[in-house]
């Protein structure tokens, strides 16, 4: 039996507060760091997660049995500096325990596949890769996949425009299905599996 896919919105960053969208790859606020820590403790499917896939700008080391994959296709879909990641050499200095060797050169340049107009193609790639990764986990004890990305990307990935209005670290759960044309789609599960907003988190 295939596991679930949990789409999680990234935690609060500096530009979410000061609205300076010209800040390159803004850091998390103190609240954002607390949100990430709280989610690690409270996420009810933690023991079932075998893989975490995240935008490279959001990457952080993971413990507890889940593999971490950095996927540039999940980066912010606009060409604003706040949606633009840093060069892998800079990221490697900040996160020396992560492996950036598989990242394509120029992934953060917002050109070609990573240009804003190519989001639909990137989303198809992400869905296809999720299906492949879910199949690889099918016989594992931990079969769920967590995807951490940006609200706008989540809405395209899920086909649910309303998901981008989730609060920081809000999440929803899906299963992987195939359309009649063979395309990969994310089907929402029961609302009981959806993350609930925390009134202490600023949107």
Confirm whether 200 is domain-assigned. Answer: no
Confirm whether 199 is domain-assigned. Answer: no
Confirm whether 63 is domain-assigned. Answer: yes
Question: Which band of pLDDT confidence, cut at 50, 70 and 90, is reported for residue 75?
Answer: very high
**Given this model, what pLDDT does residue 197 score?**
43
Confirm whether 101 is domain-assigned. Answer: yes
Confirm whether 203 is domain-assigned. Answer: no
Question: Which band of pLDDT confidence, cut at 50, 70 and 90, is reported for residue 198?
Answer: very low
Confirm whether 165 is domain-assigned. Answer: yes
Strand partners, 185: 177
- pLDDT of 15-72, one tens digit each? 999 999 998 889 899 999 999 899 988 899 999 999 999 987 644 444 556 888 999 9
Whether the per-residue pLDDT at 199 is higher than 60: the answer is no
User: Nearest-CA neighbor of 28 among 171, 153, 148, 116?
Assistant: 148
Confirm whether 52 is domain-assigned. Answer: yes
Is 9 strand, coil or helix?
A: strand
- pLDDT of 85-117, one tens digit each? 988 888 888 888 888 887 888 899 999 999 999
Task: Report how far residue 177's alpha carbon sits from residue 42's, in angstroms, rounded to the nearest whole number.
Answer: 27
Question: Which band of pLDDT confidence, cut at 50, 70 and 90, is reported for residue 195?
Answer: low
CA distances from 76 to 16, 52, 59, 124, 195 (A): 13, 17, 14, 15, 21
Please tell me the total count of domains within the chain.
Answer: 1
For 29, the domain range is: 5-193
Confirm whether 202 is domain-assigned. Answer: no
Question: Which band of pLDDT confidence, cut at 50, 70 and 90, is reported for residue 202?
Answer: very low
User: CATH number for the domain including 166?
Assistant: 3.40.50.1240
């Amino acid at each position: 039996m295939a596991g679930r896919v949990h789409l999680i919105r990234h935690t609060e960053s500096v530009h979410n507060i000061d609205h300076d969208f010209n800040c390159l790859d803004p850091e998390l606020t103190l609240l954002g760091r607390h949100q990430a820590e709280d989610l690690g403790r409270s996420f009810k499917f933690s023991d079932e997660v075998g893989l975490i896939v995240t935008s490279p700008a959001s990457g952080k080391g993971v413990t507890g049995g889940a593999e971490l994959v950095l996927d540039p296709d999940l980066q912010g879909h606009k060409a604003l500096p706040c949606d633009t990641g840093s060069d892998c050499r800079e990221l490697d200095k900040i996160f020396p325990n992560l492996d950036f060797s598989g990242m394509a050169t120029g992934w953060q340049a917002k050109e070609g596949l990573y240009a804003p107009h190519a989001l639909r193609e990137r989303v198809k790639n992400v869905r296809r890769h999720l299906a492949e990764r879910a199949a690889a986990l099918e016989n594992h004890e931990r079969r769920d996949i967590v995807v951490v990305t940006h609200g706008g990307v989540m809405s395209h990935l899920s086909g649910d425009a309303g998901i981008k209005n989730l609060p920081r670290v809000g999440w929803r759960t899906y299963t992987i299905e195939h359309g009649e044309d063979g395309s990969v789609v994310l089907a929402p599960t029961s609302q009981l599996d959806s993350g609930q907003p925390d009134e202490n988190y600023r949107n």
